[in-house]
Chains A and B, each alone.
Chain A
């Protein structure tokens, strides 16, 4: 009986002329995501709505802001929003594309190759850079908010605490501890371990794109975890992205992407000062086929010389 009452209280009264609610996909303090059916277009969708019981009314405002932010961002790496509304009881919801795939942290377990991880990382940077170009900072980038699709496509999710560039763009803070990384009465928004220092200090007004650069550096840190000996240039890139002072980090996500691309292409990485020996090694590695062929020619010539002198 109690279980039934809890279920009734938990599950929303979602009688809607267009959508049929399905099972819960994901949940958190900021909102619950359900699988649903769009009967009009005959397709599966996802619906995010404010938690049913004891939810802070500010969450509804945040959910609506999240939907409006996502609606501004038309990019393959960002989930499109189809609809936004309010239930009969006033709780906000929005409808988005149903994302199939696995979270980044789960995907890493089956992606052991470092170059593959780095190429995946570059695909994560693209939608974030796009959002920054539109004046939007995510502020909660972490592996749990990144989905990897069955074809390797990357989607950046959960823009619930995203910030529009400009003054006074934050919704009012919540009055209770309703979700991870959200303090009770302050403006500290983010997740520990991925939050930039200026975010952790509650300096919301000064947080800009470089806070996302910090978080991406933390994601890179996680990508390198488990690798027996991560290359020093990559460690230098990680360290620069995660610098305490924002001005010491990469100024933009594009700059971070360019660095990682340079590393993948065997080129010089700006964050790392290599020794002459490392420079030679990098040159040889980058042109290993040509070097092998030339060496083969020289060895052959030497062998012929030795044979001739016998």
Chain B
């Protein structure tokens, strides 16, 4: 499996859980939980694929984690910007902080992952 694909899967799965965790940290948003989970999953897929792509190019684990955090933070910031532009209440900390940490987790996992070698062609 390629690293971007791993990042995609991991980012998507973590995005689902991250979205659902809003029920606990911000219970007042429970009527929009479907929207939140969909948005969080989509964000996770995009961020995860990009983090996986970047992890192929960095040389150290620290760099992989750092880039993962920054990319996660960037996409989370986009979400908060969209909320602000649409006039909805903006949950900066509840979105950006988890987004950044999930990004570091995906960055760590994709950097550590060893891509399988392609079999030699005859």
| Interface residues, chain A, with chain B CB atoms under 8 Å away | 289-290, 293-294, 296-297, 300-301, 304-305, 307-308
Which residues of B sit under 8 angstroms from A304, Cβ to Cβ?
25-26, 93-94, 97-98
Q: Chain B contact residues (Cβ within 8 angstroms of A): what range?
A: 10 to 19
- Sample of 12 further A-B pairs with CB below 8 A, known A294-B105, A304-B26: A289-B108, A290-B105, A290-B109, A293-B101, A293-B108, A297-B101, A300-B101, A301-B24, A301-B98, A304-B97, A305-B24, A308-B26
Could you tell me the dominant secondary structure of chain B's interface residues?
helix
Of A293, A300, A308, most B-chain CB atoms within 10 Å? A293
Which residues of B sit under 8 angstroms from A296, Cβ to Cβ?
101, 104
Q: Within the complex, what minimum Cβ distance (angstroms) separates B108 from chain A?
A: 6
Which residues of A sit under 8 angstroms from B98, Cβ to Cβ?
297, 300-301, 304
| Interface residues, chain B, with chain A CB atoms under 8 Å away | 21, 24-27, 61, 65, 93-94, 97-98, 101-102, 104-105, 108-109
Which residues of B sit under 8 angstroms from A290, Cβ to Cβ?
105, 108-109
Which residues of A sit under 8 angstroms from B101, Cβ to Cβ?
293, 296-297, 300
Q: Within the complex, what minimum Cβ distance (angstroms) separates B80 from chain A?
A: 14
Which residues of B sit under 8 angstroms from A301, Cβ to Cβ?
21, 24-25, 98
Determine the distance from Cα of A304 to Cα of B25 in the docked complex, in whole angstroms.
Answer: 6
Chain A: which residue is nearest B28 at the CB level? Answer: A308
5 A-B contact pairs sorted by A residue (CB < 8 Å): A290-B109, A293-B105, A300-B97, A304-B94, A308-B94
Determine the distance from Cα of A153 to Cα of B44 in the docked complex, in whole angstroms.
Answer: 47
Determine the distance from Cα of A304 to Cα of B81 in the docked complex, in whole angstroms.
Answer: 20
Determine the distance from Cα of A308 to Cα of B91 in the docked complex, in whole angstroms.
Answer: 11
Determine the distance from Cα of A296 to Cα of B61 in the docked complex, in whole angstroms.
Answer: 17
Chain A: which residue is nearest B24 at the CB level? Answer: A305
Q: When A and B form their complex, which 5 residue pairs have the shortest distance between CB atoms, in order from nearest? A: A304-B25, A297-B101, A305-B25, A293-B105, A293-B104
Determine the distance from Cα of A208 to Cα of B57 in the docked complex, in whole angstroms.
Answer: 50
Determine the distance from Cα of A301 to Cα of B26 in the docked complex, in whole angstroms.
Answer: 10
Determine the distance from Cα of A305 to Cα of B61 in the docked complex, in whole angstroms.
Answer: 31
Of A297, A305, A308, most B-chain CB atoms within 10 Å? A297
Which of B27, B61, B93, B102 makes the CB contact (< 8 A) with A297? B102
Determine the distance from Cα of A300 to Cα of B65 in the docked complex, in whole angstroms.
Answer: 17
Chain A: which residue is nearest B100 at the CB level? Answer: A300
Which residues of A sit under 8 angstroms from B105, Cβ to Cβ?
290, 293-294, 297
Which residues of B sit under 8 angstroms from A294, Cβ to Cβ?
105
Q: Within the complex, what minimum Cβ distance (angstroms) separates A110 from chain B?
A: 28
Chain A: which residue is nearest B104 at the CB level? Answer: A293
Chain B: which residue is nearest A306 at the CB level? Answer: B25
Q: Within the complex, what minimum Cβ distance (angstroms) separates B10 from chain A?
A: 12
Q: In the complex the two chains form, is A289's CB within 8 Å of B61's CB?
A: yes
Which residues of A sit under 8 angstroms from B24, Cβ to Cβ?
301, 305
Which residues of B sit under 8 angstroms from A289, Cβ to Cβ?
61, 65, 108
Which residues of B sit under 8 angstroms from A305, Cβ to Cβ?
24-25
Determine the distance from Cα of A277 to Cα of B20 in the docked complex, in whole angstroms.
Answer: 32
Determine the distance from Cα of A80 to Cα of B97 in the docked complex, in whole angstroms.
Answer: 61
Chain A: which residue is nearest B14 at the CB level? Answer: A297
Which residues of A sit under 8 angstroms from B26, Cβ to Cβ?
304, 308
